[in-house]
Each structure stands twice: as structure tokens, then as C-alpha cells.
Structure 1
């Protein structure tokens, strides 16, 4: 018996069972149409992208061929001059080309004999004259061949990964419709099984189309030709996603290192506190111990935030928040959260051992006692910035480059990692201000270290305000690029309020003026209200009136209580500056309070990071973004754009 017609209309409109069947098939067809529309859109985008990549590779091949040709001509006593001696400008240009040209490798030598790149069968080949673009070269924007090759290699790998995701999307939806139809057949006791799948799903474009398969084959061929010297097997190995490895050993070593490090650190802390309150030590020696503890405290806070970031990565992993795409990690070399935790695990052991040697073992006497913080910091910086291909060197390189971009904020377009790293350092003002204490005590030979504290140093205030300065500069750069007052200049005002709060607190600690204390309370109150609203409405995108539960249309976490909790906890944890006002008169208590406030701020920042990335992930879901958009190295204009540029000139 037929249970629905071709238009999914009920055979008997008065029968409630038939009406339910009709509603079901209307729903199924509407969902199928959504899948079809999305798949066609992605298929069209992938076609445009593979064409872009082919054109970029063609330009790279041609440019490298020109470089190799010039190199060969130089070996034959220079370029042909038609009997004319080259002028000064020509000789300077030739010398610059010689300096910028790399020695041809095996891939470069093969480029000269490489046949034309094959095109997709669905895209007919056209002559060079009729192509819809013309290569446009800018002498002041020429990109070196190795860098262009690296970018195109990464772009092709990411494109192949996006094609794999599209294939998975099609297969997943076909399976979903099949299971949906089987569930319907079972409950409706249908005489014909899987009829909806046969009549609708199997005839749909996303099931029958082979365009994505063709794109994948073309990408494999391009990768083999340009990057693997024609080795298809090596190309497939580099293009296909890595299998998830068992990280049990990483977890074991992380636990072993952390446990050992904490045992040493706790013993060192107990000994340090005993030295601090030891009546046998004179006042100056107690000040030295207090300064040591403050330096170690700054290091511990950075280590603690590193650990919290690894913990948050674990939360993102189990909740399917695609943070590698948000941070634009290289998929071929991105670290699992357990591998990433190897860094703080090792530094925990290093911190604990040196902390214990400094206070418990007292190894090396007083002379070495003063230099243990230097040893700790020097070893840490050496390991992080070691320019050798060992211990996840690509991740360490990414980390170092991210810091370079932060330092040079005015000269780079702002990316998400720049914003995130800048906000992270805003929560590490205690650790950054210790830079002044570190150099001050060692330059003065540890004589009167109390003169290097916050009550004596204006430089410490500047260093504390440095992270919000970076973020303020980033906001100005975003305004320069986008020419939009909101949100960039509005966000700039938030960080200006933060800077004034830090400066007024430092001025009050130095001159003990009630006016500066009042200014500190004013700016801190204003900043707390401003930043809390910004976190909730901008960074988290919560409290939307038209959204369900007054939260957000798309949510990554299943529990709504988490979102309500962060809207309460985040503003409360931003009010810890009140403790500065309460205990600001006692210098010793002020130091302890500053450390506790910094620790609370780190915990708040970890919670902030969790929901900040969750919001970004949900925005990517709304924008149908599941892979990175790799910037291509060459600027290639279409024919229409070229004609417009010539008219402008």
C-alpha cells in the first residue's frame, strides 16, 4: 500500500495517521533540501578554490623557472646585453636578484621540464589568452620562492582536508536519512522499505555527484607534481589526515613530571616560608628571601596559566570546539592537549627542583643562592626559543612568532591569536611587573631589595600596564584597517580605563595621596562595569533577548547553567581590586594580596578563554566554517580587475 505520493501529501486528509506521515515527509524533504543547498554551495566554493590553487602554482612554477633561468645565465657570464654594457641600475638589480635567489633544488630543476598542470574534466581547458585572470606582479611585494612554496603546500593540504570534510558531510547525511527512514518503516509498518531513500536521497545531488572526488584527485596530482616530484604515494601520505595516536604514554609522563615537581616545590615553599620568618636572619636577609619568593611567584602564575590553558584545551576537545581552526594551527603539526601538556609538566619539574635547591638544599652557599632565579628563567627561555628541530619545534616556533606579532602590534593586521595572547598577558601583569624587580635586584647586587618594590618603582607600573597597551594598539590597528568606530574604538576605551587604573594604583603606592586612591577607585569601578558588559555581550555573545533561554541561538555546551554561571562569576572576579583598597596600607600584606588577586585573575581568565573560544566556534558553525582560510602568496587579478586598474592608472 502506498503511504505517500510524490508531493508527500496525505492520501486521506482526515486520517490523523496519514497527517502524521505527511508531516514527517515534509520535514524530511525540507531537511534534504537544506543538505542539498549546503552541499552545492560548498561544491561551488571548492571548484573556485582549486582553480585559485592551480593558478597560484602556475605562477610559482613560472617565477621559479625565471629565477633558475637567470641563475643559469649568470653562470654563463651574465644576462645577454646585445653588445651593450649594463648600467649601474641594472647591475644593482642583478646583484639584488642574485642575493634573493636560492640555489635550485631537485624540485626547482624539475619545474623547467614539468608539463602543464592538468585541469578538471568538469572545467574545460582554455588558452592563455582566454583565461579569466592575468598574473599581476608587484616588484615591492615579491614573495621569496621558499615562502610561497610553503604557503601553497599548506593551502593545498588544508583544501584537501576541507574536501574530506565535505565528503564526510555527504556520507553522514546519507546515513542519517537512511536510519531515519528505517525508523519510520519500523513504526509505520511500511510495506516498502527505504522508499524515501530510494526516491529522494539516492537521487539527490550530494549522493550522486562526483565533483568532490574529482577535486581530490586533482589536488593529489598537484601536490605530487609540485611538492613530491611526482610521488603519488608520498602526496597521499602528506595530504590525508593523521590517525589519532594513543597518548597514554604522554599522560603517564605528564603525571610523573608534575607529581615529582610538586613534591619538590612544596618542600621548597615550606623551607622558604621558614627562612622568611626565621628570627635568626636579619631584616635584610628576610627581604632577600621575600624578593626570591616574589620572583618565583611570578613564574608560578605563568606556569599555572599554562596548565589551565591545557585543561581548557581538554574541555574544548571533549565538547567538540574546533580550537585548532580558530587559532589557525597547522593540522599536520598541531599538538593534542596531552602533548601540549608536556611543556608545563616539564617546567613544573624544573620549577620544583630549582625552588627546592634554592631554599631546602641551600646547594652552593649564599653566592649561588642568589642566582637560582636566573638559572630557572634562563633554562626556560632557552628551551622555549631553542632554534633546533627538537621537541615540537614547529609549535615552539608558532609560539615565538605569536609573541613577535604581539610586540610589533602596529605593523601587523590583527588575527585572533594576537587578540587572545594580548588578553592572556593582561592577566599576567603581576608576572610582567616582576621583570623590573628581577633586573633591579641583580643590578644593585641585592642591596636593599625593598627599593625595587611597587612602592618605589614607576617602571613596575609601566610594565604592568604594558599588556593593556598592546591590546589598545591592536584596537587602533583594527580601526585603521576596518574604519569602524564600533567595536574597535569602543574596545580601545576599555583598555584605556584599565591602563589608568594600573597607573593610579601605582601612584598611590608611591605618594600615598588620597586623591590618587579616589582616582584608582573610580577607574577600577568604571573598568569593572565596562569590561563585564563587554565580556558578556561581546566576547561571549550572551544575554540576547530574542535567543532561547536569553543566551545565544547556537550553543556548544549542553548545560545552560554554565552560561548563567559565567555571567555571574566573571563580573564578581573582576572586582578583586577592592582588596587593594582594603589592604593597601600594609606593605607586606599588600604583596600577599597582590599575588592572591593575580591568582584569582588567572582563574577568571581560564574561564573567560573557555567561553571566548566557544563563542568563536559557534560563530564558525553559523558561518559554515570548518577549515582554515590560508592566504595565498600571489596577487592574481581577473581580467575585469586588470582592466579597471589600467583605467585607474
Structure 2
């Protein structure tokens, strides 16, 4: 494989700015080659080659210095982390300090800290992953510098190339410390095998190793995704045509939509999440890191598409069976919509290791922390999923009313087909906003710097709560007035909704999307760093504004009897799924750029704090590592000094 493709496919996106500018330097070589004088004019050609070589290798040296600074910084981090984890590991396994290479003798045993081998297991696995990324960084950059030097020597024959490699590239930490880095990787494997997996190296490497980049998806998932997607598309077309032909009155269509709208909206949301994952992977957004997932069990886009297509296909089959129940001899079709309620629950809580088991367990864990929002530490994934619930409010209301329908239907009550909201509907509408407000307050309490932005965000969700409460009161009192505008609570609803919409829209655009940071130039109204094409951001601004203010259009349609409220709710649910897709796309991009700014490419797993004795042990290990590194560099410098290659 060519170095160009290897470089782009194997670089760590969060460190992209710290790699050598390979493409730029390669283009510089090609431009210089095109502008070179005729080789027949030997004097002019030799002068041109010499001048370009001097300039080019000066640029290479500058780039090498920049890459080396970042590599040394990361190596220092790795040495510190390695020493810290080694001390923690040997403590937690009940070993004495004498077993630690270079330990300080005479210190009392470390017997006063909590033991948590599982957490240390995760910390070591993540540290190993960070070492692999750093090793890829070292090898890619070294290969790029070597390749550029070789290209320059090929295009402009000179002895500068081998001399620069030997006297500059090979004596830098990028090359010398690479040996130490690979020794550190090997030592981590040995420690993990000996202490974590009790000598089982196969099990240890299964936990440590990350699947290689660009690994093809299993053909089984490709086949199942293609089959279910094809069946879904055909079925949905047949369902639309059948409903259009067979539903002769509005009451039939009303009952059909009320029974199947929840599963239909959830189905759309599932496909939107698949599209989000595909977009993130296409542009290099590390959603695995952002969501704090294990890179060894990450869910691929085709696996998600297979699950979403299967759910969509079964739901559409249920709709078709409901529409054509007479042809199939089904006497009571009203139990068919239960498929859309039972199937997602069965897929989510199924304990069998199929259908993206790691992803399903991750979602359940996030749900647990969301329900205990004021008491649990809030991760990014927790408030991201809580935000998703805000867009699925109508879906949860529809599912609740479907359950209520079956309770009444089984009791043969007169109001079975009454889908009017009750007190529980109001509670369901308030819950997502409450979860997010509680999470914001919890984050504010847990943060040592107490950022005001958490409270400002909490106020945004508090305004949504106020809107939900006033809306419930307005609906309860609407029967007392001939016109909706005669009801004073209608004006309260309009004012509170307007304030909340403006506030939430501003938060979306300024904080979640990170836009309106640049007010002039080619990125006007956007920001300096963009991953997507510029039109995406302008479209997102217009879409967010229009969908956020959809409620005003809804009031106009209801007041003028232009559309039934049930149909408006359906349309609003579809628009909200679209807005959530856009929000997911840009929110993770903004978080990814934050990680890039902090060069964060792996998860931070906290084990326990270091006490004074731990610090002494870590310092001793670092001193030993530093002495070994200096000895290695001195040895390499001696080899270069006594090299037999003649000076140019």
C-alpha cells in the first residue's frame, strides 16, 4: 500500500495537526521538479538543486522539531502513566515494593488504598491502546520523513539525503525513543498477562489488542443489512399504497396512526442514528472516544443498519397485516400493533450476545444513570442520550397511550378509542427536560471550577419544563372557552414557548454547534475549524430555526382548522427527528474538535489517588527510565560520531 493511503488511514484524528505536513512537502517537491531548469544546463541545474536542497531540508528539520516536541510530550506522559499503573498494579495484587524494578527500599507496604482490579484492568487496556496510537504516530512520521528525504534525493541527486537521515533524523527522540516505546508496550503485555489474567497470555492479548484499522465488516452483517433493507423498502412502498387505497374515511386513518405512530417514529430515529454513525466515521469523528466506548467492541455502521432494518421491516409487516387483516383471516387486528411495542423492548433487554449486545448494554447503563440523574456522575453519553429522549417525547407518549388503549380494550370500556392526554402524558413530557436539568446541576456541583454555563444550560431545560406545565394546564382548561385565544393560559403558553424557543435555539447554535465565532471572511457566522462543507452549517442554522419555531405554525393550522391536531403531531415528530439528526451531526463534531484541541485520543480511567509513598515509587521508576533513555541517546550519538560514512 502506498504511504499516502497508509498515512491517511492510520493517523490519529485528534493529533492530525501534530503530524508532519506530508502532502504539503510532497507537493513542494513536485512543484520544484516542474520548475527546475533544463538538466543540460549543468551549472544552472546544479545551483538550483543545491539551493532547493538547502531550503527543503531546512523545512524538514523545522517539521521534525515540531513533531519531536509533541512526541516527547506524549512519551513523558506515557512514562508517568506507566510508572503509576505499575505501582498500583503491584499494590493491588498484594505485592511488596521490592518486586518493583528500581523501587525505593524500606518503605512501608501500600495497604491503605482501595482495591479495584477491574478498574485497573480497564485503565491498563486503555493505556495499552494509547501506547499503540503513539507507536503508530512515531512510525508514520518517521516513515514520512524518510520517504520525503528519499524522494528529494531521487528528484535532485545530492548527498544531503543520507547525511540528513543519519545526522538529524536518526538521532532525534522520534527514532531513539521508539525503541523505549516498543519495550514499554511489551512490558505492559507481560505485566497484564502475569497479574491481571494470571499467566493466560491469549486472554491478556484478547483484552489488550484493538482490531486493526480498516478491518472489513463481516459478510454476514453485510448480507443481513442488505436483505432487511431491501425488504423494508419494498414493504413500506406497499404499505403506503395499501393505506391510501383501503382507508376510506379519516377515522380509520386516525386509529391507524395512533396505534403505529410510536413505532414509526422510533423506526425513523433508528435509521437517523445509523446515518449519524456513517457520517461520523466518514469524516473521521471519533465517536468511540466521545461516548467513552471500548474500541475493542465498537459497533460498526452496517451492524446498526442490520438491526434498524430488521426492526423497521417487522414494524412495516405489522402495519400491512393490520391493513389487510381480513385477507389473512385475522379476527382481531388491534393486537397487531403490540409488535412495535414489544420488539424494541425485546431487542434492548435481550441477554443473549446477539444484535449488538455491547451497544445494548451500554444503552441500558446510560438509562440507569439518567434515571438517577441527581446522584450519578454525568458522562457525555448520559446527557447525549437524555437529549435524544427530548426528541422522542411524542414517541414515549404514543407508547404510553398504546398501553392504555390495550388496558381499556381488554376491559371493554367505552372510552377505549379515546386518545386524549391525561396527567401521565404531562409527566412524560416533563421527564426529559427534568433529566437534563438535573444533569446540568449535578455537573455544576461536581465541577471544581463551577462553570456558569452549566447553570445557564439548566435554565434552558427549566424553561422547557415551564412550557410543558403551562401547556398541560392550557389543554385542561380549553373546553371552558369557545376560542383558544379566549383562554388566558393560551397567552401564557405562547409567551413561555417563545422565550424557551429563543433560548434553546441560541444555545444550540452558540454552544452545541459552536457557531457564530467568526463574523467576517469566508467562514462568516461559522467558526475557524470546519469538518463538513460550509453549506452544511448554514443549512443547519436555517433548519434548527424553522423546526424550533414549528409550534407557531402548529398554532396557526389548528386555529384555522387547516389540519387535524393528530396529523400535526405526526408531522412535528418527523421534523424533530430531522432536527435531532442535524444536532447529533454537529454536536459530536464540536466535541471532536475540543478533543483535538486537547490532543485527547484515549479515555481517562481514574483508578485512585497517589499518596506520598506512591509518589516516591513513581519518581524512582521515572528516574530509572530517564537514565536508560539518556544512555540510549548517548550510545546512538556515539555511533553517529564514529560512523564510517564520509562527510559531504
Q: TM-score, normalised by structure 2?
A: 0.78
Residue 165 (str. 1) matches residue 197 (str. 2): no
Q: CA deviation at 1:640?
A: 8.9
| 1:598 partnered with 2:563 | no
2: distance between equivalents of 1:370 and 1:117? 73
Superposed, which structure 2 residues align to 1:24-43 within 5 Å? 24-43=56-75
1:474 corresponds in structure 2 to 439
For residues 445-482 of structure 1, give each alpha carbon's deviation from its aligned partner in whole angstroms, at most 9, with x where no partner exists.
2633454324xx24323212221121111111112112
Deviation of residue 569 (structure 1)?
2.7
Q: 1:56 to 1:388 in 2, by over 3 A?
A: farther
Measured after TM superposition, the shift of residue 508 of structure 1 is: 3.2
Equivalent-residue separation in structure 1 for 2:314 and 2:99 (angstroms) = 55
* Residue aligning to 1:404: 368
Change (3 A) 1:260 1:484: same
Of 185, 205, 217 in structure 1, the residue corresponding to residue 186 of structure 2 is: 217
Other structure's SS at 1:245 match: coil
What SS class does the counterpart of residue 409 from structure 1 fall into? coil
Partners of 2:52 and 2:500 in 1: CA distance: 56
What runs of 5+ residues in structure 2 fail to find an aligned partner? 1-46, 479-483, 617-648
CA distance in 2, matches of 1:214, 1:150: 25
Q: Equivalents in 2 of 1:16, 1:193: separation in Å?
A: 16
Are the aligned partners of 2:254 and 2:566 in contact in 1 as well (CA < 8 Å)?
A: no
- Secondary structure of 1:410's match? coil
Q: How does 1:169-188 map to 2 (within 5 A)?
A: 169-185=137-153
C-alpha contact 2:260 2:340 (8 A) present in aligned 1: no
Match of 2:414 in 1: 447
Contact 1:224 1:232 in 2 (8 A): yes
Following the alignment from structure 2 to structure 1, what is the Cα–Cα distance between the partners of residues 54 and 160? 16
Alignment partners' CA distance in 1, 2:106 and 2:277: 49
Question: Number of matched residues?
Answer: 553
- State the match for 1:129 in structure 2: 107
2:511 matched to 1:543? no
| Aligned 8 A contact 1:178 1:194 in 2 | no
Task: Tell me, yes or no, if structure 1 residue 255 matches structure 2 residue 236.
Answer: no
Q: Does 1:53 align with 2:85?
A: yes
* Cα drift, residue 597 of structure 1: 1.2
Return the offset for 1:600: 0.8
Pick aligned residue for 1:151 from 116, 119, 133: 119
The CA deviation string for residues 248-293 of structure 1, in whole angstroms up to 9 with x for no partner, is 44233112112223433444455455565349xxxxxx37x62442
Secondary structure in 1 aligned to 2:161?
coil
Once the two structures are TM-superposed, the CA of residue 438 in structure 1 deviates from its matched residue by: 1.9
2:402 aligns to what? Answer: 438
**CA 1:130/1:258 → structure 2, altered by over 3 Å: closer, same or farther?**
same
Partners of 1:35 and 1:618 in 2: CA distance: 20
Structure 2 Cα separation of the partners of residues 584 and 569 of structure 1: 22
Note if contact 1:327-1:416 (Cα within 8 Å) is conserved in structure 2: yes
- Pair 1:507-2:473 in alignment: yes
Displacement of 1:595: 0.9
Listed as ranges, the gaps of 5+ residues in structure 1 are: 1-14, 63-113, 280-285, 643-649
Does the C-alpha gap of structure 1 residues 485 and 220 become closer, same or farther in structure 2, counting only changes over 3 Å?
closer
Correspondence 1:564 to 2:535: no
Between the two structures, name the one with larger relative contact order (CA 8 Å, sep ≥ 6): 2
- SS in structure 1 of the partner of residue 527 of structure 2: coil
Aligned to 1:328: 292
Change (3 A) 1:562 1:261: closer
Change (3 A) 1:491 1:16: farther
Instruction: Note if contact 1:441-1:447 (Cα within 8 Å) is conserved in structure 2.
Output: no
The reply to whether residue 232 of structure 1 matches residue 198 of structure 2 is no
2:386 equivalent to 1:422: yes
TM-score (norm 1): 0.78
